């Protein structure tokens, strides 16, 4: 999957030196709770999600728009509007600045490693939440298809619809949450292999 990492989205000079000091003093937070519509809208776009993914890698890379464009294979001019929206939503931040050919260049860093949707945001803004879900799922499916095409990869994809007792349904949800907690608490290995995990669970309306 070209070393890509999917952003985790889950519910429930002197100037350079100063910027570097500020960045070091404010490392990306582990999990950000998304509770406002502007942030949700900023997430609901494939290009912006790709930018977040590029910046959400082990080591918390600091990249300019030019560097992000090169990694994504996109025109640099296409990304400025998206970067501004991510900045306005606080999903990324300016981590450093430098002079390049007499022009001030900003370098950006993610503001968080994971995004968690607040309890009311999905219910109150279903259209925007649905657009975000679609972006995340489509990005995961692109990586899954690529993994299936590589003989050395061993992807796992399971879809199950079952009828469980309320107690067993609660147990299943708890087990999935344990997996997610374990994954989020496991330190990343800079020399490890990139993995993508998508977990989903919901109780269907009675039929």
For the sheet with 63-64, list strands across it: 63-64, 103-110, 92-100
Mean pLDDT throughout 44-58? 92
> Could you write out the DSSP letters of every residue in 38-78?
HHHHHHSSHHHHHHHHHHSSTT---EEHHHHHHHHT--HHH
Beta bridge partners of 31: 114
Task: Give the 3-state secondary structure of residue 101.
Answer: coil
2: left (phi over 0), alpha (psi -120 to 50) or beta: left
Q: Residues 115-173: pLDDT tens digits?
A: 889 889 998 999 999 999 999 999 999 999 988 888 677 898 999 999 999 999 999 99
Confidence grade of residue 8 (pLDDT, cut at 50, 70, 90): low
- Structure confidence by residue, pLDDT tens digits, 64-105: 999 999 999 999 999 999 999 999 999 999 999 888 788 889
> What are the backbone angles phi and psi of residue 98, rounded to the nearest 5°?
-155, 155
Grade residue 10 by pLDDT with cuts at 50, 70 and 90: low
In the structure encoding, which two tokens stand for residue 52, read together?
């977040």
Give the pLDDT score at 180: 86
pLDDT over 60 (residue 20): no
Please list the residues that pair with 107 across neighbouring strands: 64, 96
What span, in angstroms and rounded, lies between the C-alpha atoms of 23 and 138? 32
The whole-number pLDDT of residue 171 equals 96
pLDDT value for 206: 64
Distance between CA atoms of 20 and 63, rounded to whole angstroms?
A: 13
pLDDT digits (tens, 9 = 90+) for 171-191: 999 999 999 889 878 887 878
Residue-level pLDDT at 11: 53
pLDDT of residue 189: 82
CATH fold of 8-116, please?
Arc Repressor Mutant, subunit A (1.10.10)
Q: Which helix (H) or strand (E) holds 93?
A: strand 92-100
- Contact predicate 15/97, CB 8 Å: yes
- Expressed in percent and rounded to 5, the helix, strand and coil fractions of the chain are 45, 15, 35
């Amino acid at each position: 999957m070209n070393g890509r990492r999917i952003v985790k989205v889950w519910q429930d000079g002197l100037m350079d030196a100063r910027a570097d000091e500020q960045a070091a003093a404010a490392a990306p937070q582990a999990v950000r709770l998304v509770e406002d519509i502007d942030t949700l809208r900023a997430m609901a776009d494939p290009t912006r999600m790709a930018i977040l993914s590029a910046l959400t890698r082990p080591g918390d890379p600091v990249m300019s728009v030019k560097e992000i464009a090169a990694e994504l294979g996109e025109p640099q001019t296409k990304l400025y509007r998206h970067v501004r929206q991510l900045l306005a939503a606080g999903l990324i931040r300016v981590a450093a600045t430098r002079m390049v050919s007499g022009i001030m260049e900003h370098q950006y860093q993610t503001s968080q490693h994971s995004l968690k949707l607040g309890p009311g945001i999905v219910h109150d803004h279903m259209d925007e939440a649905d657009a975000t879900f679609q972006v995340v799922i489509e990005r995961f499916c692109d990586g899954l298809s690529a993994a299936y095409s590589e003989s050395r990869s061993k992807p796992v994809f399971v879809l199950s619809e079952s009828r469980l007792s309320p107690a067993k349904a609660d147990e299943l949800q708890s087990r999935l949450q344990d997996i997610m907690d374990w994954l989020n608490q496991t330190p990343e290995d800079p020399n490890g292999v990139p993995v993508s995990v998508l977990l989903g669970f919901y109780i269907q309306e009675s039929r």
